[in-house]
Amino acid sequence: MKLVFATNNKHKLEEVRNILNNKFEILSLKDINCFGDIPETQDTIEGNASQKANFIYEKYKTNCFADDTGLEIEALNGEPGVYSARYAGENCTFEDNVRKVLSKMENTKKRNARFKTVISLIIEGKEYLFEGTVNGKITENKKGISGFGYDPIFMPEGYKKTFAELTPEEKNKISHRGIATRKLIDFLRNYGN
């Protein structure tokens, strides 16, 4: 069965393809000649994942899934949330976003935050949502160099290291995206059995 993953992120594609090799052929947006922007205008992470998957489903009439992720910081009333990618403005870098968060939190001791990923799967006309969250704290300074995005300032609960100080394998085991992806994969493995 063919399944479109609404992404062109090679790393995400490889990860899912490797696990689902035999049962599903995972196609990227490029593979279905989808090059335009996909709308992402909702004010929740669930809403955006669902909007992206529904857009592809309606336009290409194909089974598909899409993911959306955000960092929610308690002291900032859930920001950056759906604006995680462009928190410091259009065309900003990961570095700009990290700097903005640290500066907004300069005077607060309340450091609780969580990463949340939602995957929306549409298969044979039905939609299923899979969620992964990881709780942690925003550090006062950047630490570590691996990963991307807000990794250098996010310390997961129970760890004394930021995501950027963990190996990709260590991060994957506990991360929001790792959890949501494993739920999707478990569902697909059992689908139709």
Q: Which sequence positions are flagged as catalytic?
A: 68
| Nearest to ligand IMP of 137, 177 (CB atom) | 177
> How open is the CA angle 183-25-119, to the nearest 5 degrees?
30
Q: Which residue is nearest to ligand IMP (CB)?
A: 149
Decide: 87 and 100 in contact? Cβ < 8 Å.
yes
Q: Which residues contact 94 (CB under 8 A, 6 or more apart)?
A: 148, 149, 150
Least spacing, CB of residue 121 vs ligand IMP, in Å? 16
Residues that bind ligand IMP (CB under 6 A): 68-71, 84-85, 97, 147-151, 163, 175, 177
Q: How many CB atoms lie within 10 A of CB 118?
A: 23
Q: First vs last Cα of the chain: how many Å apart?
A: 14
| Nearest to ligand IMP of 144, 187 (CB atom) | 144
| Nearest to ligand IMP of 91, 190 (CB atom) | 91
Least spacing, CB of residue 154 vs ligand IMP, in Å? 6
Q: Which residues contact 143 (CB under 8 A, 6 or more apart)?
A: 152, 153, 161, 162, 164, 165
Least spacing, CB of residue 101 vs ligand IMP, in Å? 10
State the Cα–Cα distance between residues 12 and 7, nearest whole angstrom: 8
Least spacing, CB of residue 80 vs ligand IMP, in Å? 8
| Nearest to ligand IMP of 3, 118 (CB atom) | 118
